[in-house]
Structure 1
Amino acid sequence: MSQRPIRIAPSILSADFARLAEEVRAIDAAGADVIHVDIMDGHFVPNISFGPTVMQSIRKATAKPFDVHLMIAPVDPYIAAFARAGADGITVHAEAGPHLHRSIQAIRAEGKRAGVAVNPATSVSVLEHVIGDIDLVLVMSVNPGFGGQSFIPAALEKLRQARALIGARPIDLEVDGGVGPDNAREIAAAGADLLVAGSSIFAGNDPATYAARIKALRDAATTIRA
């Protein structure tokens, strides 16, 4: 089991887009460790979010790291744009193109942390030959493209497999999809240390509730570490 501290990464996909910068400032103040930025192209996934220009405009709202999840294909032509728009780390999907190692190299060339995401039907074995080149593994616990979906239980075994593959390497193990206080403990027990949460934090889009929701998620996840 990972001994890295649990960190919470609210996904701004569930934020109120009419006041996106305000929402980013609110989750920063509420105790978010990382800001998770979901980028969707309407091709790789059946939805569209926003591009690098919008991301650059909200980058000024916080000093917290931007964890940028590119759900787009082809992905390589857009890595530089999101890097320059303020990403601290960029995660690409193993399924998004034929040359995963090249995509990782492109992220590294921009001086950013490199991550690889795997969809629910993708084996973590696709990471075996690049595990030494990345900083983050993202296990999708829903099929990407929409917020508010239910956690897929099989993701727990995939987290355990990913944790075993990571071993002692200083690599974050992130989980995204259907994460909330009700399942955070078993998710952390399976090895995840970076929890992405969208609707469980942003539901109702009331900033007054964000701190309590982030704390509830963190407390639920860290009980396994006690």
Structure 2
Amino acid sequence: MLKISPSILSCDFANLESECAQMKEAGAEMLHIDVMDGHFVPNLTLGAPIVKCLRPKNDLFFDVHLMISEPLRYIDDFAAAGSDLITFHVESESDVGETIAKIKSHGIKAALSVKPGTPAEAVFPYLDLLDMVLVMTVEPGFGGQKFMGDMIPKIEAIRKKAEELGLSLDIEVDGGIDAGTAPLVTAAGANVLVAGSAIFGKPDRTAAVRALRAAGESAL
């Protein structure tokens, strides 16, 4: 099943509640929440208190992406705030296995992400522990970047390895995803599409979600 996860990095933060409510009305399955610390990536966004405030207002699946140096320190906070899934980076300073275990201890899903410069093989040792792998198709930190087509083989490699292991793993892609690039990544094995400006940047968000879904499903 193809899932759409609109990235709130591209929303109007002055109207966060209503912007996120529109994503539920538009038919998205998830809400992608970008957390950046200004150290792991060169940008600052939001923290667990924002997730906590948003949680009672929206019952979409909270897809929380930690782009921070020490994710292990903050897992408890983001879990308590209402995250349904927490993604952290294999390149972070925290022990990968310990961080996955901490996420799972809260009864929520765990995912691991790789930057463009990190090979697919970096996540292979952890695949049987994960619910999802996030392949960054831009350098993390800012929205609106151009899709990096040379990430396609990485998606293919992770999907192939997951199938060899008999795992029904979600593969998410984030960065430059729109109706033009969606078929490329779904054909490669991705089934969760993160999109920011391609949804929040459109006047009709429902039409934008439908167009993205149709484009992605056209290659399945």
Cα distance in 2 for residues equivalent to 1:9 and 1:56: 19
1:91 aligned to which of 83, 87, 92: 87
Q: Where does structure 2 lack aligned partners over 5 or more consecutive residues?
A: none
3-state SS of the aligned residue for 2:77? Answer: helix
Paired residues in the alignment total 218
Distance 2:101 2:94 in 1: 14
SS in 2 for 1:224: coil
Matching residue of 2:29: 33
User: Aligned-pair distance for 1:63?
Assistant: 1.1
Select between 116-125 and 126-135 the one with higher mean Cα deviation. Answer: 126-135
Summarize the alignment of residues 109-124 of structure 1 with structure 2, pairs less than 5 Å apart.
109-124=105-120
Preserved contact between residue 174 and residue 196 of structure 1 (Cα < 8 Å): yes
> Any runs of at least 4 consecutive aligned residues in structure 1 with deviations exceeding 4 A, and if so which?
none
The residue number in structure 2 matching 1:129 is: 125
**Whole-angstrom CA distance in 2 between matches of 1:98 and 1:88:** 20
What SS does structure 2 have at the residue aligned with 1:78? helix
1:26-78, Cα deviation, whole Å (9 max, x unpaired): 11101111111110000100001111111111112221110000000111110
Q: TM-score, normalised by structure 2?
A: 0.97
The one of 170, 173, 193 equivalent to 1:172 is: 170
Aligned to 1:106: 102
Q: Which amino acid aligns with 2:188?
A: A
Confirm or deny: 8 A CA contact 2:110 2:132 kept in the other structure: yes
* Secondary structure in 2 matching 1:196: strand
What is residue 81 of structure 1 aligned with on the other side? 77
Cα pair 2:36 2:43 within 8 Å, conserved: yes
Deviations 1:100-145 (A, max 9, x none): 1111111111111000000000011111211111100000000000
**What is the CA–CA distance in structure 1 between the aligned matches of 2:113 and 2:124, rounded to whole Å?**
13
Match of 1:217 among 193, 198, 212: 212
Equivalent residues in 2 for 1:193-204 (5 A)? 193-203=191-201
Contact 1:14 1:202 in 2 (8 A): yes
Q: Which amino acid aligns with 1:223?
A: S
Alpha-carbon RMSD across the aligned residues, in angstroms, is 0.9
Partner of 2:152: 156
Q: Which whole-Å deviations, capped at 9, do the CAs of 1:76-117 have from their partners, x for residues lacking one?
A: 110110001010000010001251111111111111100000
Name the SS of the counterpart of 2:79 in structure 1: helix
Q: State the distance in 2 between where 1:197 and 1:129 align.
A: 28
